[in-house]
C-alpha cells in the first residue's frame, strides 16, 4: 500500500474515532485530527475528562460505525453556512479555524450524522477501515500555544492488513520496554527530579556518570588523534557578545538572560562565540590553519515544558562541539574529514545504518545569497563524494549557514538525530577573524560548526534504547559481578574483585541471599559477566563464569578469564 493510501486510511480512522467519542460524550468539542507518521490523533475538549480505561468502549463504538458502512461525503459549504452550523453545534474550535480561512468556501466531510471541517482526503466509506487500535492519551495545547486551552489528544493507528497491525503493536511494546525514561532510573543511569530541581535538567546517577565518562574519554582521545585542540569556555558571557553573534536577534526566546546592575549576561545556548574569542586570542597565520577547536560544552536553552522529553529534549545538555577554522580552498577536505569521523564513531558505538539530510537557506538568514549557494554546493558535493545517501531539506538551515544532519537507525529501525556539520562564512566576518596569508595580507577564514555524537544526553538516550540497557562490554558501567555463594567465601570473592578491578569495572555481591536471586538481580542490572565463587572455586582458585543471558562458560583460572575478556573486548570493539 502506498504512503498516500495509508494516510487516507488513518485520516478516515481519526474521523471515525471522533464520531465515536461524540456519540459517547455528546458535550465533547472537536479540535483537529490529522494522520501522522505512524497513525493518527484527534484533539478533544471534554468537560468530564477522559482516561485510557475509556478506550475499549470507544473502540467498540468505532466498530459499530465501521459496520454501518457510512460513505465519506465531501461537500463545499459557503463560509457563512459553515460558521452558522458550527456555532449552533457549539464547536468553538472549528469556528475559530473557519474564521481564519480566506476562501469563501470551506471543505466539509461527513459520514452518517458526523460533520467535520476537513480538506480530506478520505476512503470511500467507514466500512473500508478494518484494523485499528487506540494507543495513548496526552495533553495538547490548542494550536500548540501554552496560553491556549489544553485539550485531550487520543493517539491511534490503523493498517490495511491485520498482520501489519500486530507487527506494529509488537514493535511498539518493544519500544516501550526500551524507553530510556524507564530504563534510566531503573539501571541507575540518570533521573530528572522535575518537582524538586526543575524540568529538563538531568542528574547522572552512579552508573550513568561512569557511562558518560567512558564516552567523554573516548571523545577526547579521538579528537586529539585528529588534531583538535581541547578547550573549555564559561557558562555565561556578556549579552553584547551574543548580540554580536546574532543569537540575541535570532535566538533570544530560547536564551536565559541575566540582567545585573550595569551589565547583562546570557547563559550560553551554544559554544561558538567562545571559540571565536579563542581564535582571536593571538594572530593566526595561514600555517596555523586548519585550526580545530573542541569542547565538551554544556549549554542551556529555554525550552517550553510541553516539548521536554527525557534525555531527548532538555534545558541543559552537553555537546561534543568543535569549530574548524580553515581557508576556503581547504573547506571540502575538512568536511570530508568530519564525515569520515562521524562514520567511524557510529560504527564504534554499534550503529551501521545512517543517512544524511542537507538543510538549505531559511527565510531569515544573514549574509549574501551567492555565498550561501556556494556553501550548499560544497556540502552536496562532499556528501556525494563520500558516498552518503541524503535528501535535501529546503529552508531548514541555521540562520548563519547550511548544514548536514546525520540520522542513524537503531535496533528497531527508528531514526535518531546525532551529528551535524554547518558551514559558516558570516560569523568569522562579524567577529573580525583573520589570518595572515602568504603575501602578508589579512584574510577571513571559513568556519565549520560540527558535532559528532551531538548532545551527549540525546546520544545516551539513543544508546540506552538501541541496546535496551544491555551495553556492549566496553561501555557497561559494571562489567563483572562477583557473586559469593555463601559467607565463608566472602574473603575469596573480595580477593577476586581486587585482581579483576585492575583491568575491569567490578562489583561484588556479598549479600546473604540465594544464588538464584543474586543472578537474577545481576541479569536485571544487565551486567555482561557474572562470576560465582563457592567452596569449590575457593579451594581450586578458579571462577565459575556465566554471561548475561545465562550462558555458562564454566570454570576458569582468574588469569585465563582476564585474557579471555581482553581479547573478546578487542574483537567486540574493532569487529575482527
Q: Could you give the residue numbers annotated as active site?
A: 272, 301, 319, 321, 323, 403, 449
What CA–CA distance (Å, rounded) separates 23 from 368? 57
Which of 528, 526, 531 is CA-nearest to residue 509?
531
Contact status, residue 122 vs residue 52, Cβ threshold 8 Å: no
Q: Which three cell numbers stand for residue 281?
A: 586570542
Contact status, residue 117 vs residue 132, Cβ threshold 8 Å: no
What H or E segment, with its residue span, contains residue 155?
A: strand 150-159
Per residue, the 3-state secondary structure of 464-524, as one string, reads: HHHHCCCCCHHHCCCCEEEEECCHHHHHHHHHHHHHHCCCCCEEEECCCCCHHHHHHHHHH
Contact status, residue 74 vs residue 109, Cβ threshold 8 Å: yes
* 296, burial (CB in 10 Å: exposed 0-12, middle 13-18, buried 19+): buried
Q: Which three cell numbers stand for residue 340?
A: 569520515
Contact status, residue 200 vs residue 313, Cβ threshold 8 Å: yes
What CA–CA distance (Å, rounded) separates 135 from 115? 24
What CA–CA distance (Å, rounded) separates 572 from 569? 5
What CA–CA distance (Å, rounded) separates 119 from 99? 15
The Cα diameter of the chain in Å comes to 92
Amino acid at each position: 500500500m502506498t504512503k498516500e493510501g495509508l494516510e487516507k486510511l488513518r485520516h478516515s480512522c481519526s474521523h471515525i474515532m471522533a464520531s465515536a467519542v461524540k456519540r459517547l460524550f455528546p458535550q465533547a468539542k472537536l479540535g483537529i485530527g490529522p494522520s501522522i507518521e505512524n497513525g493518527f490523533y484527534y484533539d478533544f475538549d471534554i468537560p468530564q475528562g477522559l482516561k485510557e480505561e475509556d478506550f475499549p468502549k470507544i473502540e467498540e463504538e468505532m466498530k459499530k460505525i465501521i459496520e454501518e458502512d457510512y460513505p465519506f461525503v465531501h461537500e463545499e459549504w459557503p463560509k457563512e453556512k459553515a460558521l452558522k452550523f458550527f456555532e449552533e453545534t457549539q464547536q468553538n474550535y472549528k469556528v475559530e479555524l473557519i474564521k481564519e480561512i480566506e476562501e469563501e468556501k470551506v471543505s466539509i466531510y461527513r459520514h452518517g450524522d458526523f460533520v467535520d471541517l476537513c480538506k480530506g482526503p478520505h476512503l470511500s466509506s467507514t466500512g473500508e477501515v478494518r484494523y485499528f487500535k487506540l494507543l495513548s492519551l496526552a495533553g495538547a495545547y490548542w494550536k500548540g500555544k501554552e496560553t491556549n486551552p489544553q485539550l485531550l489528544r487520543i493517539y491511534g493507528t490503523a493498517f490495511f492488513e491485520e498482520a501489519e497491525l500486530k507487527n506494529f503493536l509488537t514493535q511498539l511494546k518493544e519500544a516501550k520496554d526500551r524507553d530510556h525514561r524507564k530504563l534510566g532510573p531503573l539501571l541507575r543511569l540518570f533521573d530528572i527530579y522535575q518537582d524538586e530541581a526543575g524540568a529538563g535538567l538531568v542528574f547522572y546517577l552512579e552508573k550513568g556518570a561512569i557511562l558518560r565518562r567512558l564516552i567523554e574519554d573516548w571523545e577526547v582521545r579521538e579528537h586529539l588523534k585528529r588534531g583538535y585542540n581541547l578547550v573549555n569556555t564559561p557558562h555565561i558571557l556578556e549579552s553584547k557578545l551574543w548580540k554580536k553573534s546574532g543569537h540575541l536577534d535570532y535566538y533570544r526566546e530560547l536564551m536565559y538572560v541575566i540582567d545585573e546592575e550595569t551589565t547583562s549576561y546570557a547563559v550560553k545556548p551554544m559554544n561558538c562565540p567562545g571559540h571565536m574569542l579563542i581564535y582571536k586570542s593571538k594572530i593566526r597565520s595561514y600555517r596555523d590553519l586548519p585550526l580545530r577547536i573542541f569542547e565538551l560544552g554544556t549549554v542551556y536553552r529555554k525550552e517550553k515544558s510541553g516539548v521536554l522529553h527525557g534525555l531527548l529534549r532538555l534545558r541543559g545538555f552537553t555537546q561534543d562541539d568543535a569549530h574548524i577554522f580553515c581557508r576556503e580552498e581547504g573547506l571540502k577536505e575538512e568536511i570530508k574529514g568530519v564525515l569520515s569521523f562521524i562514520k567511524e564513531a557510529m560504527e564504534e558505538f554499534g550503529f551501521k545504518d545512517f543517512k544524511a539530510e542537507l538543510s538549505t537557506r531559511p527565510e531569515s538568514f544573514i549574509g549574501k545569497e551567492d555565498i550561501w549557494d556556494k556553501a550548499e554546493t560544497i556540502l552536496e558535493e562532499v556528501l556525494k563524494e563520500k558516498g552518503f545517501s541524503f535528501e535535501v531539506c529546503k529552508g531548514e538551515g541555521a540562520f548563519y549557514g547550511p548544514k548536514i544532519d546525520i540520522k542513524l537507525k537503531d535496533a528497531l529501525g527508528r531514526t535518531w538525530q546525532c551529528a551535524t556539520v554547518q558551514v559558516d562564512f558570516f560569523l568569522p566576518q562579524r567577529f573580525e577573524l583573520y589570518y595572515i596569508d602568504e603575501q602578508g595580507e589579512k584574510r577571513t577564514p571559513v568556519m565549520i560548526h560540527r558535532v559528532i555524537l551531538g548532545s551527549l544526553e540525546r546520544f545516551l538516550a539513543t544508546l540506552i534504547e538501541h541496546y535496551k540497557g544491555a551495553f556492549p562490554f566496553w561501555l557497561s558501567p559494571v562489567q563483572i559481578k562477583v557473586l559469593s555463594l555463601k559467607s565463608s567465601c566472602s574473603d575469596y570473592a573480595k580477593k577476586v574483585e581486587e585482581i579483576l578491578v585492575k583491568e575491569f569495572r567490578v562489583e561484588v555481591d556479598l549479600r546473604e541471599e540465594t544464588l538464584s536471586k543474586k543472578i537474577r538481580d545481576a541479569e536485571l542490572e544487565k551486567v555482561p559477566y557474572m562470576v560465582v565463587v563457592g567452596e569449590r572455586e575457593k579451594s581450586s582458585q578458579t571462577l565459575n563464569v556465566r554471561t548475561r543471558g545465562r550462558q555458562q562458560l564454566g570454570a576458569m583460572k582468574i588469569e585465563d578469564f582476564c585474557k579471555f575478556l581482553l581479547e573478546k573486548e578487542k574483537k567486540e570493539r574493532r569487529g575482527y
